[in-house]
Structure 1
Amino acid sequence: MTELSFDVEEVLPEPYAVVPNLTARLRVAETTGAVVHAMALRCQVRLDPQRRRYTDREAEGLLDLFGPRARWTATLKPFQWMETSTVAQGFTGSTVVDLPLPCTYDFEVTASKYLHALEAADSPIPLMFLFSGTVFTRGVAGFGVERIPWDREATYELPVTVWRDLVSAHYPNTGWLRLDQDTLAALARYKSSHGLIGLDVAVSDLLQGAGEVIA
């Protein structure tokens, strides 16, 4: 039987990806001396918000997700960011595996709302990696197949600047917001009837009319 352990050495932006993509560099160790022929690795990546401190400004941005601070002991729970997978080549002892982390900036996604609210660079983003999958071993009797135990996991503190730099590279000074078709049509009519040059200006005009200050 193989005995595997996983450590996240670093998480970096993928510089040439068409869409926002991080890469987690994993150190995978096998401690029994068995020859690993290949490994089909699956991973759930979770955000663990109670392991982080938050400024008052960040708390305002998290109000929709967790409510006021007084409720955080009940609402600040880990939640899933993504599921991802990769295939590792054979190794003995240990190896480094690159795990792709495809990201989205859609504000309808809970994880994107959470990450967008974070600002304090001195308090990183707490991540949990939960591993599973299949290990193919090679020995004198041929090939063997084993499951990666469900208790294999690792943690990582992702700097806020890594996330913000990734988003800025793909969506400089912009964000995604999904609207109902009727709402979008009404917004387009408002833009046209007021002679505005774009939907962004139309939304800004409506917000200013409601007394909201746009920084």
Structure 2
Amino acid sequence: MPDLSFQVEAVEPLPFAATPLLVFKLRITNAAPEEQIHAVMLRCQIQIETMRRPYNTQDQARLFELFGPPELWGRALQSLLWTHTNVNVPPFTGSSRVDLPVPCTYDFNLATVKYFNALEDGEVPLKLLFSGTVFYMGRGGALQIAQIPWDRETTFRLPVRVWKEMMDLYYPNSAWLCLRKDVFDRLHRYKVRRGLLTWEQALESLLPAGDQEGQP
């Protein structure tokens, strides 16, 4: 029966997709190298292990909304569920490298987006947990089916630079902000009444003068 292990070898943004997409280069290895794998229907859950990296003073200020003051981080820092994804793995023997697509969003209502955006550099520690179904050739050439055990996982440190490059590729010098419809309507009326040409001008006119980044 197949005994699969997983390792992320690299990651890169995929240009020109319909939505922002990271591609994880995933190495799959079977402990029985002569066994023929016909296909794998692979599912993956990705978690951000926030407690497994250091944070400087600027990081702490920008993460105040998520985790509160740094003196509470001993309890506040918990793993964040980032996303679920899946991929169909083609036939292989021994090992194979496949592209694991991870759709991303720039919705600042989501904790994971706030987390990524708050970091300037370094790496984001990830845990990838795998499950799914393996189709393989059993004894006598018969097609067999097995489930991937729930304990199959791997870790990877995603460079913050890669995430920011992806968002700059899809949303250059931009960010997405989702508002309630009634709030948007009020902002729109404010913009029209004052003859402001852009949404940036409307928001800037409402921000206090001398507003400084880094103050919670």
Shorter-chain TM band: over 0.9
Deviation at 1:190, TM superposition (A): 1.0
Deviation at 1:110, TM superposition (A): 1.1
CA distances 1:110-142 after superposition (whole Å, capped 9, x unpaired)? 11010000102xx21111110000000113241
**Partner SS for 1:44:** strand
Which residue in the other structure is 1:193 paired with?
Answer: 193
Alignment of 1:145-184 (within 5 A): 145-184=145-184
Which residue in the other structure is 1:131 paired with?
Answer: 130
The amino acid that maps onto 2:10 is: E
Structure 2 distance, partners of 1:127, 1:34, is 30
Give the 4+ runs in structure 1 shifted more than 2 A.
211-215
Alignment of 1:18-97 (within 5 A): 18-32=18-32, 33-97=34-98
CA distances 1:3-28 after superposition (whole Å, capped 9, x unpaired)? 11100001111123121100011110
**Partner SS for 2:90:** strand
**Partner SS for 2:207:** helix
Structure 2 distance, partners of 1:198, 1:208, is 18
8 Å Cα contact 1:9-1:27 kept in structure 2: yes
Deviation at 1:73, TM superposition (A): 1.0
Percent of matched pairs sharing the same residue = 42
Structure 1 distance, partners of 2:199, 2:189, is 10
8 Å Cα contact 1:204-1:214 kept in structure 2: no
The runs of 5 or more residues in structure 1 that have no matched partner are none
Establish whether residue 110 from structure 1 lines up as the match of residue 101 from structure 2. Answer: no
8 Å Cα contact 1:137-1:143 kept in structure 2: yes
Give the alignment's Cα RMSD to 1 decimal.
Answer: 1.5
8 Å Cα contact 1:128-1:153 kept in structure 2: yes
CA distances 1:160-183 after superposition (whole Å, capped 9, x unpaired)? 110111000111111111111111
The amino acid that maps onto 1:69 is: P
TM-score (norm 1): 0.94
Structure 2 distance, partners of 1:214, 1:145, is 55
TM-score (norm 2): 0.94
